[in-house]
Amino acid sequence: MSEIHVVPKDMKASIGIATDAESAVRKADSAGHLTKAGAAVPGAESVGYMSDLGNRWTDETKAAADSSQKLAAEMQKALNEFEAADAAAGQKGGKVMGPN
């Protein structure tokens, strides 16, 4: 049988880190800069490549941000479940053990 040790403080910190990562990644918009750079070199073959790179950048950063958001939500759900189970166990344990 496996053992799981839950440290709520650490889980809350991890949720905060994942949420911060999501926010930072969503703000990372190099696609706009690449479009401007491509426009600065009219007629160059690289213009199309820069546009494609910008679109891929946008897609990849959105996917990374979505993953961070999903991770934070899953960790929050797990923490909520743990806290509910811990509270229920405390109430039931008090009935068995009696008052302190």
Q: Count of domains in the chain?
A: 1
Cβ burial, residue 67 (10 Å; 0-12/13-18/19+): middle
Banded model confidence at residue 51, pLDDT cuts 50, 70, 90: confident
Residue 54 has pLDDT above 90, yes or no: no
Does residue 69 carry a pLDDT above 60? yes
- Within-domain flag for 66: yes
pLDDT bucket at 64, cuts 50 / 70 / 90: very high
Residue 1 in any domain: the answer is no
pLDDT reading at 35 higher than 90: no
For the chain, the distance separating the N- and C-terminal CA atoms, rounded to the nearest angstrom, is: 31
Supply the Cα-derived Rg of the chain in whole angstroms: 24
Q: Is residue 52 part of a domain?
A: yes
Would residue 100 count as lying in a domain?
Answer: no
pTM over 0.75, yes/no: no
Domain that holds residue 17: 8-95
Quick check: is 14 in a domain?
yes
